[in-house]
Structure 1
Amino acid sequence: MKLVLASNNAKKLVELQALFTPLGIELVTQGSLGIPEAEEPFDTFAENALAKARHAARLSGLPALADDSGISVDALDGAPGVRSARYALDAGGEKSDAANNERLLRELAGVADRRARFVCALVAVRSADDPEPLIAMGRWMGEILTAPSGEGGFGYDPLMHIPALGQTVASLGAEVKNRHSHRALAAAQLIEQFRAAWHLG
């Protein structure tokens, strides 16, 4: 079954494709179909993911899968949250992983409570007006370091230390990350829903 992925993030595509391959799902990015990115006007991950999924389905005529994810930091009242990808841009900086990480470190300078979580909402729709979207949420608990560590991953991975694994997310191999991540946790829930509601796998 072919699904449009409402994202142009190549690394996200690789992660999600690996997670859903056992169900016979083939993901194709919306960008490869000439579909522009959707607006993300909402304050929650789930609402933004649903908006992106409906947008991709509407313009492609295919079922769609959307991911809205980010990092929520307790000491910042959940920020960056849904603004994670644009965190530095919102403060007049550039839109880049490095700039986002730099702003987060500045905001947490001198802060003792560095608890945080990666959050992922995954939404799948059969069509743009699907009345029964599949919605899954994953949360991966950790803490923010005072400096980046690790060479892999993307986004805030170099700053997010996972105490249970003793490493930053950027230091984990792809196989380990795909077993433990917020996206993996959400995908596991979505896989169950795909099997029950869409009869896949």
Structure 2
Amino acid sequence: MNSVVPFGLFASLLLSFSSLSHAVNVRVVALFPEKALVFIDGERQFLEVGQQPVKGVRLIDSSSRKARVEVNGVVNDYFLSRDMGDGIQSPELLSFRINRTNEGQYLAQSVINNRSAQVLVDTGANVVAINAATAERLGINYKDGDTVRVETASGVVRGFQVMLDFVSVGGIRVPNVEATVIEGNSPETVLLGMSYLKNIRFSEEGGVMTLQARY
């Protein structure tokens, strides 16, 4: 059965917290200077400093390190390196920094199924995306995967859904990562999509992308 796999969903779980007041559930999923992407009771919202509260939730300040959020009148600071449930300082977690290139991209070396490959961080890609030639070099038996239709800049092409044994970037290893192998030469570089990124914490500030293990 064919289905279309769009590469346009931006979401990644970086940290979460719950407000007991009025049972509002808030999850902060991405941090940027003076902006934050959050889920409020399961509904995605993009908050900015100075914006009116949304369902009782207001962003007071935000950076790549932390968010100061007011939930129904209660203000707290939330750090990426902290346990959001009880505020206890967590042990230092493995992190890796990637400098932005002159072309505005974040490129890094990775290990996929025990073989090296350059990856391009792409928060707009639902899953890791690999062209067929690269998949063969990585030893991925993709033709056994389910066939899908993939929308690309040059049109709709055939792809294959696969499960990678693991993907590791900067030593941050995530097992069982969903990927799509796309026929042809696109993308030229492996796209490090949300099927990997949702399992870690990541932030961007001042031309530096920071990846951090969640555990």
TM-score, structure 2 as length reference: 0.29
Higher relative contact order (CA 8 A, sep 6+): 2
Looking at secondary structure, tell me which structure has more helix per residue.
Answer: 1
TM-score, structure 1 as length reference: 0.31
Looking at secondary structure, tell me which structure has more strand per residue.
Answer: 2
